[in-house]
Amino acid sequence: MYFAQHYLDCLSQASYLIGDERSGRAVVVDPRRDIEVYLADAAEHGLRIEGVVMTHFHADFLAGHLELAGATGAWIGYGPSARTEYPIRHLADGERVDLGLPGGVVLQIMHTPGHTPEAISVLVYEHGGDEVPYGVLTGDALFIGDVGRPDLLASVGVSAEELGAMLHDSVQHKLMGLPDAVRVFPAHGAGSACGKNLSTATRSTVGEQRSTNPACLPMPPEQFVRMVTQGQPAPPAYFGYDARRNKENRATYHHDDVPALAYPQVRDAVARGSVVLDTRDADEFTAGHLRGSLSVPLDGRFAETSGIVLTPQDSVVIVAAPGRETEAATRLARIGFDNVAGYLPLVEAVLTRLDPAQIGHASRLTPAGLDAVLTRRSDVVLIDVRNPVEVADGMIPGARHIPLAQLPGRAAQIPADRPVVLTCAGGWRSSVAAGYLRAHGFTDVSDLIGGYDAWLARRRALATPA
């Protein structure tokens, strides 16, 4: 058996290539849109991709099932209740997919609804006659240290309580009914908004999860639903868009060159409604940027965060470090944001030729600077953009909580005529949030360098005798 996990850190997303090296037959589970990695991996190991198995309709990224099917002729398989605009193979609970010769690699489908109604897990047998599976690909049903959230479909009429009851059965009876030695391979890891306490580990065992994962401890359905719905991070608005697009017969993604634009072309594009997305780091953005630009550094959770401050319909002009514009466009495409008009090369040189009124600068405060501002002024609005599970451990006194994913929909609640200071855990998200507010008309906006963690460290240091 050939078994490879392809993990994408920036989306905390795992996909899998599984093949039988004797027969040369393989499937890919939960692929991303830039499929070259799977084609190259399969070619290197003498495998031909015959099937694409989707564990469910993903919401956090636009999957590459159509791209892989187009490139290889593979069938696309979903759980028994899935409905799509494109032809699919419905995979029934208990169905076995044989990849090899007699005694070769076999996949067995396990219907594990709860995160979504159609969700499946995939049992992987190295040899068809094995009693204990090599592993189980759990999709978004079971994570390492957590389980999938059952509340994402509330907007389409499926309640968290209904799905939570399904998830309770899927996790506690079906998945925990497997032997301890079975390896667990989830679809996501730490950082994903598909759960709240995901581990940084990307694989585990059923036995380890049985003993360490709080959601795997025996409990009644009502208690389970309360546990898995409370404190969940606010999902980005694009989640609903991607879940819908993953059902549609949409256009496939191709690696096209991102066109370079001269500044007058950028200026004209902005006049027509395009958005400038500056992907340089926060310090470079602070020093100078095109006024009105959004800031999402390319070094972090770029795609997911861009999906918060942009809409899928936005025409985007990218500002990036030299040579990184294609990377930025590819990462946007992974969440289905394909409308990239081009990029502005050498922005620093462009800024030196512009009228100062066209150049924006950002204000960033150290913890000591924030204390000085709060001492001097009583009208400062302090906004904490962390997720609920983070602020449960404490916030800066007087701060209001607006998770970053909710900021576009709640910005009107923030007084635009008062100084605003934004904070998060370490300063990355607050810089993005500050840039969003400036781009939408707020004139006195700062963010806290180092975030709440730095503020708390300063508080503790001040309280410690010399």
205-232 tens-digit pLDDT: 999 999 999 999 999 999 999 999 887 8
- Judge if 201 and 136 occupy the same domain: yes
Whether 323 shows a pLDDT value over 70: the answer reads yes
- Judge if 212 and 285 occupy the same domain: no
The pLDDT value recorded for residue 230 is 84
- Judge if 405 and 355 occupy the same domain: no
Last residue of a domain, one of 245, 272, 304: 245
Token couple for 108: 């067995």
- Judge if 277 and 206 occupy the same domain: no
Whether 466 shows a pLDDT value over 60: the answer reads no
- Judge if 33 and 144 occupy the same domain: yes
CB proximity list for 162: less than 8 A, separation 6 or greater: none
Last residue of a domain, one of 360, 379, 399: 360
**Which residues carry out catalysis?**
424
Domain range holding 384?
Answer: 363-463
Give pLDDT tens digits for 37-58. 999 999 999 999 999 999 999 9
Token couple for 368: 């000591």
Token couple for 57: 């309709």
- Judge if 41 and 146 occupy the same domain: yes
* CATH code for the domain of 438: 3.40.250.10
Predicted confidence band of residue 235 (pLDDT cuts 50, 70, 90): confident
Whether 190 shows a pLDDT value over 90: the answer reads no
d(CA 466, CA 461): 9
- Judge if 239 and 282 occupy the same domain: no
- Judge if 332 and 385 occupy the same domain: no
**Whole-model pTM?**
0.93
d(CA 387, CA 196): 9
Token couple for 427: 């300063």
**Cα Rg, the chain, nearest whole Å:** 24
Last residue of a domain, one of 312, 333, 360: 360
- Judge if 356 and 373 occupy the same domain: no
- Domain annotation covers residue 19: yes
- Domain annotation covers residue 399: yes
The pLDDT value recorded for residue 149 is 87
For the chain, the domain total comes to: 3
- Judge if 301 and 235 occupy the same domain: no
The pLDDT value recorded for residue 101 is 85
d(CA 396, CA 456): 8
To the nearest whole number, what is the mean pLDDT of the chain? 94
- Domain annotation covers residue 255: no
- Judge if 41 and 187 occupy the same domain: yes
Predicted confidence band of residue 254 (pLDDT cuts 50, 70, 90): confident
- Judge if 380 and 354 occupy the same domain: no
